A and B are shown apart, each in its own frame.
Chain A
Amino acid sequence: MSCDDNHEARAKDRENRRSLRVVDAGTPAGPRASSSSPTYWTSAEDRARTGPVPGAANEFAGGTFDVGADTSGVSRRGFIQVASLSTAMAAVGAACQKPPHKIVPFVRRPEEVVPGNPLHFATAFGLDGYASGLLVESHEGRPTKIEGNPAHPQTLGATTAIEQSLALSVYDDDRAKQLRTGERPLAWRTFLEEVSVRASHLAQSRGAGLRFLTAPTTSPLQGDLRKRIVERFPGAKFVSYTSVPDDGAVEGAKLAFGKPLVPRYKLAPANIILSLDADFLGEGSEQTRLSREFAARREPSRQMSRLYAVEPAMTITGAMADHRARVRGSDVGAFLAAVISVLGSRGIAGLAPLASLAHGQKHWDPKFLVAVANDLERNRGTSLVIAGRRQPAAVHALAAALNAALGNLGSTVEYGAPLTADPTAGAAALGALVEEIAAGGVDTLVITASNPVYGAPVDFKLAKLLERVPNSIYYGLYEDETAAACKTVVPAAHPLESWSDLRATDGTVSIVQPLIAPLWGGIQEVDLLAAFVNEGDVGAHALLKKFWAGQGKAPGDFDGNWERWLADGIVPGTAVPAESGLAVDGAALAQAVTPMLATAGGKQGMEVAFAADPKTYDGRFANNVWLQELPHPITKLTWENAAMVSETTAKSLDLEDGDVVEISLRDRRVQAPIMRVPGHADDSVTLPLGYGRTGGEKVATDVGFNAGALRVSDGFWFDAGVTLAKTERSVKFSITQDHWKMSPDGRETPPPVIAGTLAEALDPKSKFHEELQDRRPDPENPMPFIHKPVDYSGQQYKWAMAIDLSKCTGCSACVVACQSENNITTVGKENVRKGREMQWIRIDRYYKGSFEDPEVVIQPLACVHCETAPCEYVCPVNATVHSDEGINEMVYNRCIGTRYCSNNCPYKVRRFNFLNYIEDYTAAREMGMNPDVTVRTRGIMEKCTYCIQRIERKRIATRIEGRAILDGELETACQQGCPTKAIVFGSLNDAQSKVSQAHADPRRYDLLHEIGTRPRTIYLARVTNPNPDLGQAEKAGEHE
């Protein structure tokens, strides 16, 4: 076919579609309905369908419009009775005076406070010890929104979903509120006295029975306090524990380099990345920076990086990979050994002694193996092998040796001394403490680790053992499982209520400053530790300032420096340089890891893999409704966890989604619902941690199952010999997966996303570009629509957005950022199941290809602000209209809740308050609302506003200054939180703006362009960079 013909055919096709819409508006199914499976699919059922998405039937999830949306149990008649009575009362009331509304000004207004304008304070948060620098927005003393600190080396101004959720958990009414011993409430002063008495007793025995079980921390002040405690009590010991430790990396470095070290990755120079069960985009203390660096190399050009992922269950890193192999967790080491053996046989210096490790191990698809090896070899010094935190020390050591041999040390990976007070924080260290307790050698145990009774391996039987400790003191945010097992409970201050200090992975110190005084009398961790050196009444702020004054970190006036550190969020010059001159002794390493690898992998039968949950982590965020209701980045599951298996495994066990199975492992049993997950390794079941909590928290209790009940110290991450037995029960998940289907009227539509390869992207004549061409506006030949398009070029601003799907990892930070910024409510599990979730952004995740080895395309979708919006002309009360700048406005005070707009929205991005969800907000919760955004009640429609409150605030500020809003000066909440900078927002009337450039990008496509809505939010197609040596059809993976 010649070029002309081609063009003609396309024009005709377009013509067909147009006539189809206008002429055959009533036809239920279009002629393009095909009999084959869809290219892109979202779930097993969706994949199995042969026709178009069934229209009206699937447009809303089952139960969305159930009669009796009101679950309060009031009948219609009862409602009318109450309503008429209250109307009558209101009429009587109206005749009297309105109660006066009060204005309560400050007595002494702090100098920097301007009522009505928010302030931003720099602070830091450490998930597992290492700092993420944050900027917290504060309205008249109430923290309302978390942002990343742009000056911080690890966050670079972005955040994770978990960090965003701190703005909610600080106001959690379930938090521990009373310092108590047993049932007896204590004042802090009394507690200090008791500690002081006990300490002097302990001092007589040189503190022999004094133990501290802490969370891993990098705090220099806490390090100093620990030192002073050990000086006073030489017999005292500190043990760090987290149920999600990074021990493998530290011990692996010890094997490879002879001393414990922590790797620091740098993706900017990395052309080839091999991820070995490493979800470096979704977990770890460097994830925000790594996401940014990774995304920066994903723009289609010759410089585009290539990512190979080898992992058991699909993670967001695996979803971003150009090639992905599904491999059981314990076999990952064998895969690495095989890669090393290929490279070693090619004579790469340093790998020869390790080349024989792969003997007797699994066989892998030689093509995939060689392709990986070739890429690594060709990119010496610019490649990177990352081992995940679940992998044992041997795998980390081999990864380190491979990186060293490839010359990547110093370029894509550096090693630095561990900055945590204890280098490791896993089961081994805790095991030693447990033995001491069992032997009766512990008199006073102070626990500041996060809920270890729930998170410790079950074989330690920690809850039972704690009964043997005469004085157990638990310092925690909640009255959780550990609080129930300890004698004294000290309510913790939230990270946003505390003074402290933390280091980032590169050593940079951030001062943690409180945003609000402890709401429920929480005690700061520093104060608790200081109590053991008789300084519990000095105050964390004074201790911190005194400590830093003595450090001599900067010349000049300390108070001035201190203020600057607090304002900037970092202490300059505190970065710790990486170790240099590291070398691997290959022969010794080979000798050390050979037995380890032999015992690790190759086991027959079913394997269990435990995983930190992207939402509840290890259970410590389980009481946060934002996170509970956040759809899992891959499975889209909310409000619970599931035992994840592959399709093949499910078939062999005759299991369907939702079937409850009894999982048995070493005489321990747990019941869990099954979920088939595309891309999961066979003969492996992934159990997410952090659910099935039994503490006192209202939200967390009875949500999901406790995978930790199967977790033992010598099967901490992976364990073999698990059996799954089907039970009679089955559950229905609250999955947002197939809610809100885009299907304008049940007709076959073009695929919802477009993705291509680098080769296609670089070839302007490729089918990829042809397809894109068809999906964006052609000024010559505009798509017809019921509205007459408006010309916005005369306006000062023409707001628009662009989302680069090559960069978007689906991490979901934007969803929570949006929820926090816009006062979006949560609805609970039942209502999610009915399709009533309220998040304005939904992250669609599409699979392509086979169920077992799918490609993934992520497409976040909020209101796209159609210029010719279908929602607008169906609203009977003009509650949704266009602004002069083309924003599709939602006017809450006009909305009467007909929901016509949502019905007519082809993108299905409108959210309706079916119930009065804000009814049971506590007074504390209300403090955390954004005062710039109206709080919506029952019966109101809502949707993305492009953060109109931010636009208007910035507009007013710049108009007072007499200038225009500069490009990049105004960010929406999702854009600001996005770690990869995939979202750009700005004005199309500024030709130089980033968003204008994105709109002119050759990768641009408009979602549902064919129905003529002229969306203002456009997408840049996902481009992958597959290895040309590996054909499209051939799938990476094991080859038995």
Chain B
Amino acid sequence: MGPLFRPRHNTLAQVSLFVVAAGAAGVPLGLMLYARTPLARGMQDPIEQPIQFDHRHHVRDDNIDCRYCHNTVDRSPAASVPQTQLCMNCHSQIWNKSPMLEQVRESFFQNKPIKWNRVYQLPEFVYFNHSIHVNKGVGCVSCHGRVDEMPAVEKATPLTMSWCLECHRRPDANIRPVEEVTNMDWKPPGDPLEFGTKQAAENNVHTRTSCTTCHR
């Protein structure tokens, strides 16, 4: 009977060693890369809602300002998902027999809240405040993307701490005149950075990066 291992097995051993070594380095690396993909961050994943609400229609076709529905965005940490009554402001008059809106009417007349699915979720130790961002000229689109082009809203930005800090360290590129905050199509005139720097000074923007700015 010949030897158990033959010279050709050397290659196999070398390959196995390489695979083990590569795996040891590659798995963490792979996980780190994965964590940076839109998939891991839940981005580009349209969230289905109990009612097929289409922002394209309301924002683009009807030209309704974001703040008509999300009406505490400039005075509260929370932007607010609208109360049913607000939907009924219009839908008691128009499309008031549409089967699509059956749930809205049911909610209104039976006093049962609609349970929407959250799209943007921050960890519980993060305290984000909409009002200060909106009042200092950070456009809705900067974080929420082109909501006016989304049939179902999806997360447009990663919401990681480094992403937040990027802007908190140098906000200029994301600052616009306060009255243009909800404008989805707004483009800075001229050089974006130069305009932003000027605008940030005008809006008295003063970003902070201390931990307790967000973590309390």
Contact = CB atoms under 8 A, between A and B. Distances in A.
Interface of A: 98, 100-109, 114-117, 881, 883-885, 887, 889, 891-894, 932-935, 945, 948-949, 952, 956, 959-960, 962
Contacts of B125: 892-893, 934
A108 B127 contact: no
Interface stretch (B73-81, B94-102, B142-150, B184-192): B73-81
Contacts, number: 119
Interface of B is mostly: loop
Contact of A106 (B113, B206, B210, B215): B113
B43 interface: no
18 contacts: A100-B117, A102-B118, A103-B117, A105-B114, A107-B108, A107-B113, A109-B83, A115-B76, A116-B80, A117-B76, A117-B77, A889-B210, A892-B215, A894-B211, A934-B215, A949-B216, A956-B132, A959-B132
B87 to A, nearest CB: 10
A665 to B, nearest CB: 53
A104 B117 contact: no
B151 interface: no
Contacts of B75: 114, 117, 960
A883 B78 contact: no
A115 B211 contact: no
Given A107-B112, A107-B113, 12 more contacts: A100-B117, A100-B118, A102-B115, A109-B85, A114-B76, A115-B72, A115-B78, A884-B208, A884-B210, A891-B215, A893-B123, A934-B216
Contacts of A892: 125, 215
Contacts of B83: 105-109
A115 B208 CA distance: 25
A1026 to B, nearest CB: 45
Contact of A956 (B78, B82, B84, B129): B129
A934 B82 contact: no
Interface residues of B, number: 44
Interface of B: 42, 47, 72, 74-78, 80-85, 107-108, 111-118, 121, 123-125, 127, 129, 131-132, 135-136, 204, 206, 208-213, 215-216
B85 to A, nearest CB: 5
A98 B42 contact: yes
B216 A933 contact: yes
A102 B215 contact: no
Given A100-B47, A102-B117, A107-B111, A889 B212 contact: yes
Contacts of B76: 114-117
Nearest to A879: B211
Nearest to A109: B83
Contact of B84 (A101, A105, A932, A959): A105
Contacts of B78: 115-116
Contacts of A935: 124
Given A105-B81, A107-B84, A948 B124 contact: no
A945 B215 CA distance: 11
Contacts of A945: 212, 216
Nearest to A887: B212
A415 B76 CA distance: 49
Contacts of B72: 114-117
The 4 closest A-B pairs by CB, nearest first: A116-B78, A883-B210, A116-B76, A101-B118
A115 B73 CA distance: 10
A934 B118 contact: no
A310 B38 CA distance: 74
B106 to A, nearest CB: 10
Given A107-B84, A116-B77, A101 B121 contact: yes
A883 B117 CA distance: 36
A263 B108 CA distance: 56
A883 B118 contact: no
A156 to B, nearest CB: 29
Contacts of B211: 881, 883, 889, 891, 894
Contacts of A104: 113-116
Q: Which of B76, B111, B125 has the most CB of A within 10 A?
A: B125
Contacts of B42: 98
Contacts of B213: 952
Contacts of B115: 102-104
Contacts of B127: 932, 949, 952
Nearest to A951: B212
A2 to B, nearest CB: 50
A934 B116 contact: no
B58 to A, nearest CB: 16
B118 A962 contact: no
Contacts of A105: 80-84, 113-114, 116
B118 A960 contact: no
Contacts of A889: 210-212, 215
A117 B131 CA distance: 11
Contact of A960 (B82, B121, B132): B132
A952 B212 contact: yes
Contacts of A948: 212, 216
A956 B81 contact: no
Contacts of A98: 42
Nearest to B85: A108
Nearest to A108: B85
A99 to B, nearest CB: 10
Contacts of A108: 83-85, 111
Contacts of A100: 47, 117-118
A117 B127 CA distance: 13
A104 B204 CA distance: 35
A878 to B, nearest CB: 9
Contacts of B84: 105-108
A103 B81 contact: yes
A892 B42 CA distance: 25
Contact of A959 (B85, B107, B206): B206
Nearest to A893: B125
Nearest to A930: B216
A98 B42 CA distance: 9
A101 B123 CA distance: 12
B202 to A, nearest CB: 12
A700 B206 CA distance: 51
A949 B77 CA distance: 12
Contacts of A102: 115-118
Nearest to A883: B210
A579 B75 CA distance: 51
A985 to B, nearest CB: 16
A935 B206 CA distance: 29
Contacts of B132: 956, 959-960
Given A103-B116, A107-B112, A107-B113, A960 B131 contact: yes
Nearest to A962: B204
Nearest to A892: B125
A952 B111 contact: no
A934 B124 contact: yes
A218 B186 CA distance: 63
Contacts of B77: 116-117
A889 B215 CA distance: 9
A949 B213 CA distance: 9
B80 A107 contact: no
B107 A107 contact: yes
Nearest to A891: B211
A667 to B, nearest CB: 58
Contacts of A934: 124-125, 215-216
A107 B85 CA distance: 6
B26 to A, nearest CB: 18
Given A109-B83, A956-B129, A103 B118 contact: yes
B216 A101 contact: no
A115 B212 contact: no
B117 to A, nearest CB: 4
Contacts of B210: 883-885, 887, 889
A952 B216 CA distance: 9
Nearest to B50: A102
A378 B126 CA distance: 62
Contacts of B113: 104-107
Contacts of A114: 72, 75-76, 80
